[in-house]
Amino acid sequence: MAFLPRIGIDLDLDHDGRRWVYKNPVTYHKAVLRAGGIPVFLCPDDPRPAEGIVDGLDGVLMTGGDDFHPRIVNRIPGKTPMTLLPVRREKFVLRLIEAILEKDVPCLAVCLGSQALNLALGGDLVLDLPSEYPGALDHSGGKRHLVVPEPKSFLGRYWKMRPQRLKSHHHQAARRLGQELALEARGEDGVLEAFRHPGKRFLFGVQWHPELQYESLGGHPLLDALIFTSQGKSLEAFFKSKQ
């Protein structure tokens, strides 16, 4: 039987009007199972150091969520419309991505997760695309737009440089990439949509949601690569296996 890697999926945190609840769309869970992994839910209130949490995992799928507070990028809150993350989850995703970087754990960071990855490496955020990025398309609510791969990138290689029309659900985005991150793709409007850390086994951030469009080239290749590298194999071997 093939080795089924344990893939951590960080849970969201919300108040339903009566109590705090952990929640997570089942699409993340189903996507990991379909790709060949075993989902392991990660609780924002886990008291262990983040290094101890990732030690028990073979890979991580970091999930989406609400907005980072402007203080994260040393800005003062203004009139920008935001739905802020609970502080407990905000702190959790930032310490989780730092542990992933330190331990070189294979990771696919989706939406909020990709923004956490960028912040952890010193990048900056667009806090509100409509007001801060002139000409930006609507990237919220599952709207579709073209994602254009960069030459010589992972996506460019896999997509054979063909832009893909993908769904997105984000309000914030990377403004300036952090150190050591390589740009993988932009939206047709220029918004940074994907990036990776070429010095790690598999550390990839995307603004769209691969788990919601598994059959597309923006879905299963990324999830398959996460599982493949979480089994201890290289990204180059992944490419060879697809030829």
> Mind giving me the DSSP string for 165-212?
EEEE--S-EEEEPPTT-EEEEEETTS-EEEEE-TTSSSEEEESB-GGG
**Distance separating alpha carbons of residues 223 and 219, to the nearest angstrom:** 7
> Can you read off the two tokens belonging to residue 44?
């924002």
Look at residue 3 in the predicted model and tell me its pLDDT: 83
- The pLDDT value recorded for residue 200 is 97
**What CATH number was assigned to the domain covering residues 6-242?**
3.40.50.880
Q: Sign of the CA dihedral 113, 114, 117, 121?
A: negative
Rounded CA-CA distance 53/172 in Å is: 27
- Asked whether the whole model's pTM tops 0.85, one would answer yes
Q: Name residues of the chain where pLDDT drops below 70.
A: 1, 243
d(CA 157, CA 160): 5
pLDDT number for residue 13: 93
For the chain, what are the domain ranges?
A: 6-242
What pLDDT shows up at residue 123? 97
Number of neighbouring beta carbons within 10 Å of residue 24: 15
